[in-house]
Amino acid sequence: MPRKAPLTDMLLRNARPKDKAYKLSDGGGLFLQVQPNGNKLWRYGYRFFGKQKLLALGAYPETGLAEAREKHAVAHKQVANGIDPSEAKKDAKRTALLNAANSFESVAREWHEKKCNVLQPRYAGFILRRLEADIFPKIGSRPIKNITVPELLSVLRLIEKRGAVETAHRAMKACGQIFMYGIATGRAERNPAADLQGALQPIKTGHFAYLKEDELPEFLQKLEVYQGMRQCQLAVKLLMLTFVRTAELRGALWSEIDFDKAEWRIPAERMKMKRPHIVPLSKQAVIILKELKLMNGGWQFVFPNPYKPIKCMSENAALNVIYRMGYKGRVTGHGFRHTATTILNEQGFNRDHIERQMAHVEGKVRGVYNHAEWLPARRKMMQHWANYLDRVASPEKKAKISLVK
């Protein structure tokens, strides 16, 4: 190492290019090479096992004199310890590239891309947004194999602390699946999320807000006199008659509706469980759909977005009807499913028929799902349900209130 470095910042700033490259030595093999084009490059010349080598340490002024000396000191010590700094630099670069390819975020995005093939686009997008907002900023750049249980827990607890307990649990579940994918692809060795069971606050369980049987008459009467957009009013009515999921209703296409058979056939790609589903249409549902056909038959969607008809209506359209009727917090679109199944079960309908109509997951006993199973019985059940709602809406037949009006 030099006893005293001869270079100064003033000398470096004032160094001008010449016809040929030249060096300004700082001692100990460290020098600044001034190029004919004006570039100033830090270099460390050293011998390793008798071979003359050169190590790049950055460009001036981005790398200042003090920083260049620090890098030189590290490299000089490596040579003294029998380590070639040029090879060490290459190894560090390879490791950095490997870690980037095997980072949690890289593996997570790869996992998510594959999951997109089996998940509803809206749900897949929700998972990715959750990861981008809460997980990637904290551990996204970390090699997935190096993430520890306490490290993952600290990230999840940040979500928990803001009161989003359910979101924290969902994030933990997604992370667990990502770690398992990392293990399967040889980039992780264990799943830290598996060791976090019980570490987060428990989720307060409960059902979606739904209408009780004695609440139906008032709700149906208010729905009938609703003064807002007709399409949204009809959407709520059809939701009650079919008790499909709100996403399935919003995305309904005219190509799925068979008026001759009085059936709505929803393809697998639009279903939560990725299985095709048949909805037998009651007479009341058909009347509603025929009115919608007159309104929206020129578009592909049964419920087109009024501002951009090439898309379906927004997810809040039907919910806003419920809010404006004064039922915010008392019922949700999903809650109609609970209302229907509860009442139909109480009325003695076959539980299997109800579960099929809800498009729930097939039980373990039968390996093959037949989406048309018990269709005649389900058709009778759906017509019974529509007639029941009509009777509930006007039990004494005094008011001409009906879901089909």
Residues labelled as active-site residues? 245, 272, 334, 337, 360, 369
Q: Are 238 and 249 in contact (CB under 8 A)?
A: yes
Closest CA to 179 of 224, 149, 222, 213: 149
Q: How far apart are CA 25 and CA 38, in angstroms?
A: 17
305 to each of 229, 257, 293, how far by Cα in Å? 12, 19, 15
Buried b (16+ CB within 10 A) or exposed e, 187-215: bbeebbbeebeebbeeeeeeeeebbeeee
Q: Please state the separation of Cα 387 from the chain's center in Å.
A: 40
Distance CA 333, CA 387 (A): 20
CA atoms within 13 A of residue 332's CA, in its CB half-sphere: 12
Triad 366, 371, 373: Cα angle to 5°: 70
Q: Which two tokens stand for residue 398?
A: 């005094």
Amino acid at 209: A
Confirm if 270 and 248 have CB atoms less than 8 A apart: yes
CB atoms near residue 314 (< 10 Å): 16
Pairing of strands 40-48, 22-27: unpaired
Classify burial at 44, counting beta carbons within 10 Å of its beta carbon; exposed 0-12, middle 13-18, buried 19 or more. buried
